[in-house]
Amino acid sequence: MIISRRAAATLLLAAAGCARQPAAEAQPAAATATPRGLSIGPEGLSQGGLALGQAAPGSRVTLDGRAVRVAPDGRFIVGFARDAGPVARLAVSGPGGSETRELAIAKRDWDIQRLNGLPPAMVSPNAQQLARIQAEQKRINAARADDSEMPFFAEPFAWPARGRISGVYGSQRILNGEPRAAHLGLDIATPTGTPCSSMGGGRVALAADLYFTGNTVIIQHGHGLTSLYAHLSAIEVAEGAGVRQGQRIGLTGATGRVTGPHLHLGVSWFSTAVDPRPLLPAA
């Protein structure tokens, strides 16, 4: 998806995932032009999408009134939730002027996934377990809240492990017959002990054993973008450590709430979980 406009300020917004896909996998549709010089293609601005933007250096950017960090070269990212509404408002104010654009967010259809045989405590936790879950969620929220200047948010990502895709982003989960929250990540089925690597450079924001996700690592990539690696059988990095793309961070496994060994990969822009699949190379 490409949006471009040349006026007092300059804005280029492209789907981050689309920019990282080989041409054979993601072909942008033909753009249409308006008399004002605006060209729009449909890729990327959708529910669960992550978009990489470019503004004039020194610009200020907001999405629906929320300030967005802009790199010295003008790059920035914005993300859209699974249930994002049909329109988002992007405003840019730069040295040469200001502009505002209403972005059309495409609606997506979601799968339904039924999982049975889970321990009852992993579907309906008791009060003590809920207290632990709530405390752990605060740690996760804190790890995702960091708005650092690290530049890795704009670099191409790599697969953390290879295997069959056993769960997709956005699917409605039915656990032991009970409707539960949507699945906000990508599941990669792998044998226990398969090496897991960081999908990009960054810093380890969390490395801990959590109730639902088991052994879990969260890596910050800059500008509020984080990746999460869950259900590991072993963690091999420490909180605060710097990592490079492809560096081994642990071993896949079946810890936490699972029906079998796999890697759950999550990607978030601050608290907004986005679809990891478009950000990765073709299988």
CATH of the domain at 224: 2.70.70.10
Whole-number Å distance between alpha carbons of 105 and 130? 35
CB 199 within 8 A of CB 246: no
**166-196 pLDDT, tens per residue?**
999 988 877 777 777 788 999 999 999 999 9
- Of 51, 81, 104, the domain-final residue: 104
- 97 and 185, same domain (yes or no): no
- 163 and 98, same domain (yes or no): no
- 49 and 129, same domain (yes or no): no
* Residue 29, pLDDT above cutoff 50: no
**46-104 pLDDT, tens per residue?**
999 998 888 888 889 999 999 999 999 888 999 999 999 999 999 888 877 888 888 99
- 14 and 68, same domain (yes or no): yes
Q: How many domains does the structure of the chain reveal?
A: 2
- 155 and 86, same domain (yes or no): no
* Residue 3, pLDDT above cutoff 50: no
Give burial (CB, 10 Å; 0-12/13-18/19+) of 134: exposed
Range of the domain at 46: 2-104
- 117 and 92, same domain (yes or no): no
- 44 and 95, same domain (yes or no): yes
- 142 and 209, same domain (yes or no): yes
Query: What is the pLDDT averaged over residues 137-144?
Result: 97
Per-residue model confidence (pLDDT) at position 23: 32
Full-model pTM: 0.85
Of the chain, the end-to-end C-alpha distance in Å amounts to 21
- 99 and 137, same domain (yes or no): no
- 66 and 198, same domain (yes or no): no
Picking from 82-96, 192-206, 247-261, which range would have the lowest pLDDT averaged per residue? Answer: 82-96
Q: What is the mean pLDDT of the chain?
A: 83
- 255 and 218, same domain (yes or no): yes
Size of the chain in residues: 283
- Of 104, 131, 152, the domain-final residue: 104
CATH of the domain at 32: 2.60.40
